[in-house]
Structure 1
Amino acid sequence: MPESSPLLSLASTPFVALTTFRKNGEGVSTPVWIARDEDALVVITPLGTGKLKRLRNDGRVTVQPCGRSGTVKPDAPLVEARATVSSEPGDVERATAAVRAKYGAEYHVVMFIERLFARGLGANKPRAVIRITA
């Protein structure tokens, strides 16, 4: 995939709205961190999230730049793509390393806060990686 592809150009944005689709075709958008891993974009998420359930039924996704709260500007580019999910430890570690490298201290702060709130509920939640390709 060329360096200048519409999908890979989103790798530098802080947040993207990742839209996954219900069985009835209705889109559900979630703001997520995203990082580049070779010819794909990757997202890490705890196992059991709604987006993973939806992706098991339909691998179609759309991604577009958004703010931290998920607000998408009217002129934001929309990219249609495909997504696959893996919970293989090597895949998750590789994607986590890419996200950690991109977000640095912010990543560590968010993970620390998540561990505080998850105390007693399994502070180190198992994760999956969503791999997004054109």
Structure 2
Amino acid sequence: MSPTLSEIGAAKYVLLTTFRKDGSAVPTPLWAALDGDRLLLWTVTDSWKVKRIRRNSRVTVAACDVRGNQKGDAIEATAVVLDDAGTEHAREVITRKYGILGWLTIKGSLLRRGKSGTIGVAVTAP
């Protein structure tokens, strides 16, 4: 039986798989937190995964460990890059889930990259 988005969102790390133009998969382990019926992720604005999501919103998500080793089945989903307000909300939700480590990581990133240096991504499953 396939896991639900909420089961995957409960994991410490989530394996987000985006797809290149040729269809090849590119998996990336990320922090993620549930926000209602969607999964919010946070990443560097100019990363290739963001460029791939803007071109093709089809992704898969699965629970994984810190090294990206998948734990369980992946599910098909749709990802969308968030605006500034959505990104700020993603930062808040991720900080809540990951506690002091999340707060330190996000604040350090804001100091290093500024607010526009990172961006939120929302993932929904059909």
Provide the TM-score with structure 2 as the length reference. Answer: 0.87
Which residue of structure 2 lines up, in the alignment, with residue 130 of structure 1? 121
In 1, the alpha carbon distance for the partners of 2:119 and 2:43 equals 6
Asked whether the equivalents of residues 9 and 63 of structure 2 are also in contact (C-alpha less than 8 Å), the reply is no
Question: Which runs of structure 1 show a deviation greater than 2 angstroms over 4 or more consecutive aligned residues?
Answer: 108-116
- The 1:97/1:114 distance shift into structure 2, 3 A limit, reads closer
Larger radius of gyration: 1
Which one of 81, 86, 98 corresponds to residue 85 of structure 1? Answer: 81
2:96 corresponds to which of 101, 104, 120:
101
| Aligned counterpart for 2:56 among listed residues 55, 58, 67 | 58
**Unaligned 5+ runs, structure 1:** none
Partners of 1:62 and 1:23 lie apart in 2 by 16
Q: Relative to total residues, which structure has the larger helix share, 1 or 2?
A: 2
After superposing the two structures, state which structure 1 stretch, 124-133 or 8-17, moved more.
Answer: 124-133
- The corresponding residue for 2:46 is 48
Aligned residues: 122
- Once the two structures are superposed, what CA deviation does each residue of 1:8-43 show, in whole Å capped at 9, x if it has no partner? 221110001100000110000000000011110010
| Identity over aligned pairs, percent | 34
**Contact kept in structure 1, 2:61 and 2:74, CA below 8 Å:** yes
Structure 2 gap segments, 5+ residues each: none
Q: Output the TM-score relative to the length of structure 1.
A: 0.82
State the superposition RMSD in angstroms: 1.8
